[in-house]
Amino acid sequence: MNRKADTATVSVGLGARAYDILIGPGLIVRAGAEIAARLPGTRAAVITDDNVASAHLPVLQESLGAVGIDSVTVQVRPGERSKSFETLQEAVDAILAARLERRDTIIALGGGVVGDLAGFVASIVRRGMNFVQVPTSLLAQVDSSVGGKTGINTAHGKNLVGAFHQPRLVLADTAALDTLPEREFRAGYAEVVKYGLINQPDFFAWLEQNWREVFSGGSARIEAIARSCRAKAETVERDERETGERALLNLGHTFGHALEAATGYDGARLVHGEGVAIGMALAHRFSARMNLASPDDAARVESHLRAVGLPTSPKDIAGDLPGADALLSYIAQDKKVSRGALTFILTRGIGQAFIAKDVPASEVHAFLKEFERP
Amino acid sequence: MNRKADTATVSVGLGARAYDILIGPGLIVRAGAEIAARLPGTRAAVITDDNVASAHLPVLQESLGAVGIDSVTVQVRPGERSKSFETLQEAVDAILAARLERRDTIIALGGGVVGDLAGFVASIVRRGMNFVQVPTSLLAQVDSSVGGKTGINTAHGKNLVGAFHQPRLVLADTAALDTLPEREFRAGYAEVVKYGLINQPDFFAWLEQNWREVFSGGSARIEAIARSCRAKAETVERDERETGERALLNLGHTFGHALEAATGYDGARLVHGEGVAIGMALAHRFSARMNLASPDDAARVESHLRAVGLPTSPKDIAGDLPGADALLSYIAQDKKVSRGALTFILTRGIGQAFIAKDVPASEVHAFLKEFERP
Ligand SMILES: NC(=O)c1ccc[n+]([C@@H]2O[C@H](COP(=O)([O-])OP(=O)(O)OC[C@H]3O[C@@H](n4cnc5c(N)ncnc54)[C@H](O)[C@@H]3O)[C@@H](O)[C@H]2O)c1
Ligand SMILES: NC(=O)c1ccc[n+]([C@@H]2O[C@H](COP(=O)([O-])OP(=O)(O)OC[C@H]3O[C@@H](n4cnc5c(N)ncnc54)[C@H](O)[C@@H]3O)[C@@H](O)[C@H]2O)c1
Ligand SMILES: [Zn+2]
Ligand SMILES: [Zn+2]
């Protein structure tokens, strides 16, 4: 369903919490009108980070002002460290100081960090305000802005504190990606690949053919983003609160999160999507090692990830890494642990991921040992 | 429906989130068995405060241990100030440090402060854990443990940050009230009276006759608590997220919260239920002043509240109070403000409360002026 010639719409069917994802160029310019049409009379708080603010905040503010939406802005430092209790509390205080009410709207303008933080703020201030996502990173457009997971990190690990809070609208401005650093675009692309690897082998094959066009922009980019959103939306529709198959979306994430933790969430060394790329490569290799899948599929996955410039092994990470023992203990603290047995997303081949419970920790440990540097 | 001869059960019908409230003596002793029956295999974190811990924690721990439920304990300081971001973060950290998982259970053992804090913790750790309320104050048994509102306070006001998170079970041990200070029991009784005043004039009349038996314990106490829980449950069933009639439960609370804020949440001067008692008396007097209700009803309400030893006027609060201007600005920051117009719960008489929108701030101001001390 098209709203404008170059805008794709993906509808997320969640009953009373259903919403649209609009995908196309120029959506930040149209944001005020799109929001006012759905949430008449709202006031707003824009949560953003310094990088995104300098590139896109004035356009958004003008767009809100043009339709008479009063707004305040909360600007946080860029980077994973803003997903903290401290920043949460600062943002909450700013919104309460502005006397926003329940029917007012929190707008996340930024990548996944801003989206996760802002969504959590929207979920807890006055026990729940309206929330609109304006994702500006590829990762946020294809993944974090869809599905309603919000949250922050703690010293015990990533995303351990948060809420399910669905947005009322997602505006994925594909032109906003033009200011995104190349490395961040690539990292987000790892999540696009993920949807192919989970259950859409044809989409993976399409990406192998068309990834250059996705990177350079235009209709292939819109198509890749819309297909990714649809894939995620379908999974979320079937399992909003991750009691089952939604866990498939964690393909690559158990290893990935451990590596992010092991590098101290230092984006200079490893950003989220890069961790996911390595994690997906490892999940495929480990599945082959467990005789679940063919090693050829693992090789094909690695080869595509390397073609676009993504890392595929812990050895691709610059600097020291802790050994297998430490990585395993990060894995064990991860959310996807069930009664002490390790739960992983493994695969029977490209597009055939599944939830594997009771994966022996000893096998994982031996596997991780291979990547230790002497 | 009785489970044991002296246990009343109130079922809260919220579809997938339905739960039972058990009311009777000795429920802390039985807590382990009741929880294990509903949440097999769970581990637990008990959140409690120092006062309640010394009176009841060992019994609860023994009861959990007897059925093989592993538990850790998080003990906070008694009082409203524990409903803070700081204490929230400490409790969250302790629970993550204990590696509790999503399917594990947070047990609130205490009054409304512990219940609101623990419920919020349960709602945000791993985006939602199981939650069981073991309310030990009368206020918590008849009000705060039922309905799923959880939260903390900020410098901007009470309960401005939180979540809706329904418990899986509420165990209201009426014998636990024997260790509750008399003043706290009286304060909780204000919320019992509230249900009569909202829409059950016969219950109010019953309380006028039977309040001495409610205070002294026994079957009248169980009956008063069960009737209160049923009244609250019915309202919550019809309007879980307070988009409409649930706001009636705020009878007395707009004035009450302003007085709590004005006394700096200093429990030595004013506890929540006392604020509500004054607030209900004021709501009835203000309604009479606005020619909505008869002054005789206001007098009858005040007379019953005074009979049990509750305050009915700001003048009953010891020490200095800010004037009408300051009280009004506390009211305007309260959650029940809608687009700048004041929303109050007013009444047409005993048992006839209603939601009044667009109450003129000038009338409220003039009314509050009368209670200023020279
Ligand atoms: N909620 C979910 O379901 C979900 C899913 C996946 C990931 N996540 C979370 O998302 C986060 C990662 O998201 P991310 O990769 O977008 O990180 P990010 O938000 O840190 O953005 C990456 C970097 O790009 C910058 N940036 C973003 N958009 C830009 C633009 N248009 N122009 C210039 N700079 C721009 C940011 O300032 C930042 O420096 C992680 O915290 C992860 O846990 C959440
Ligand atoms: N969530 C809701 O829907 C809701 C509804 C009403 C009130 N509340 C909240 O509840 C709070 C007030 O609750 P409260 O009045 O229970 O306050 P509270 O939890 O502070 O308890 C009052 C005092 O009694 C002590 N105490 C509790 N049980 C005891 C026992 N059995 N023996 C000895 N001492 C005991 C406590 O330590 C405390 O000192 C406020 O924060 C209010 O906002 C919430
Ligand atoms: Zn991811
Ligand atoms: Zn109350």
CB distance from A29 to chain B under 8 Å? no
| Range A323-343 average pLDDT | 74
pLDDT for position B105 = 98
Model confidence over A23-55: pLDDT tens digits?
999 999 999 999 999 999 999 999 999 999 999
Contact across the interface for B333 and A99, Cβ inside 8 Å: yes
Q: The domain spanning residue B24 has which CATH number?
A: 3.40.50.1970
Average pLDDT over residues B150-155: 95
Q: Token pair for residue A244?
A: 């089952």
Q: Whose CA is nearest to atom 34 of ligand 2?
A: B180
d(CA A110, CA B105): 35
Cβ contact B266:B275 at 8 Å: no
pLDDT exceeds cutoff 50 at B150: yes
B13 with B83, same domain: the answer is yes
Closest atom of ligand 1 to CA, residue A137: 28
**B47 and B123, same structural domain?**
yes
Domain-ending residue, one of B160, B179, B198: B179
> How many domains in chain A?
2
The reply to whether A262 and A338 lie within a common domain is yes
Q: Are A120 and A63 in contact, with CB atoms under 8 Å apart?
A: no
Q: Give yes or no: residues A128 and A172 share one domain.
A: yes
Interchain CB distance below 8 Å, A124 and B157: no
Question: Is the per-residue pLDDT at A335 higher than 70?
Answer: no
In the listed set B128, B153, B179, which residue is the last one of a domain according to the structure? B179
Q: What is the mean pLDDT of chain B?
A: 93
Does residue A145's CB lie within 6 angstroms of at least one atom of ligand 1? no
- More confident position, A40 or B334: A40
In a domain, A374, yes or no: no
**A361 assigned to some structural domain:** yes
**Quick one: which ligand is closest to B179's CA?**
2
pLDDT digits (tens, 9 = 90+) for A121-156: 999 999 999 999 999 999 999 999 999 999 999 998
Q: Is the pLDDT of residue A338 over 60?
A: no
Q: Which tens digit of pLDDT belongs to each residue from A239-296?
A: 887 778 889 999 999 999 999 989 988 889 999 999 999 999 999 999 999 999 999 9
- The confidence band for A2, taking pLDDT boundaries of 50, 70 and 90, is very low
Task: Look at residue B374 and tell me if it is in a domain.
Answer: no
CB contact under 8 A, A102 and B335: yes
Final residue of a domain: which of B139, B161, B179? B179
Distance between Cα A54 and ligand 4 center (Å):
46
State the smallest CA–CA distance between residue A193 and chain B in angstroms: 26
**Domain check: are A190 and A154 in the same one?**
no
**A131 and A226 together in one domain:** no
Beta bridge partners of B173: B24
In a domain, A83, yes or no: yes
**Other Cβ atoms within 10 Å of A296 Cβ, number:** 11
Shared domain for B171 and B206, answered yes or no, is no
Q: Is A104 inside a domain boundary?
A: yes
Report whether pLDDT(A373) > 80: no
Catalytic residues of B: 127, 149, 191, 232, 242, 246, 250, 253, 257, 272
Flag whether A208 is in a domain.
Answer: yes
A216 and A350 housed in the same domain: yes
CATH of the domain at A308: 1.20.1090.10
Over range A88-96, report the average pLDDT: 98
Full residue range of the structural domain in which residue A238 is found: 182-369
What is the value of pTM for the model shown?
A: 0.92
| Mean pLDDT across B260-278 | 92
**Looking at residue B335, what is its pLDDT?**
47
Are residues B51 and B103 both part of a single domain?
Answer: yes
DSSP letters for A20-65: EEEEETTHHHHHHHHHHHHSTT--EEEEEEHHHHHHHHHHHHHHHH
pLDDT of residue A244: 80
Please give the order of strands across the beta sheet that includes B19-24: B8-12, B19-24, B169-173, B130-135, B105-110, B44-49, B71-76
Give Cα A122 distance to the centre of its chain.
18
Residues of A designated as active site: 127, 149, 191, 232, 242, 246, 250, 253, 257, 272
In a domain, A41, yes or no: yes
- Per-residue model confidence (pLDDT) at position B329: 87
Q: Of all atoms in ligand 1, which is nearest to the CA of residue A150?
A: 1
pLDDT more than 90, % of chain A? 83
Number of DSSP helices (H) and strands (E) in chain A, helices first: 13, 12
* B253 labelled binding-site residue: yes
Residue B293 resides in a domain: yes
B186 and B131 co-located in one domain: no
The predicted pLDDT at position A6 comes to 86
Do B339 and B192 have their domain in common? yes
- Assess whether pLDDT exceeds 90 at residue A334: no
B94 and chain A in contact, CB less than 8 A: no
Annotated binding site of A, which residues? 112-116, 136-137, 149, 158, 191, 253, 272
Quick one: B328 and B240 in the same domain? Answer: yes
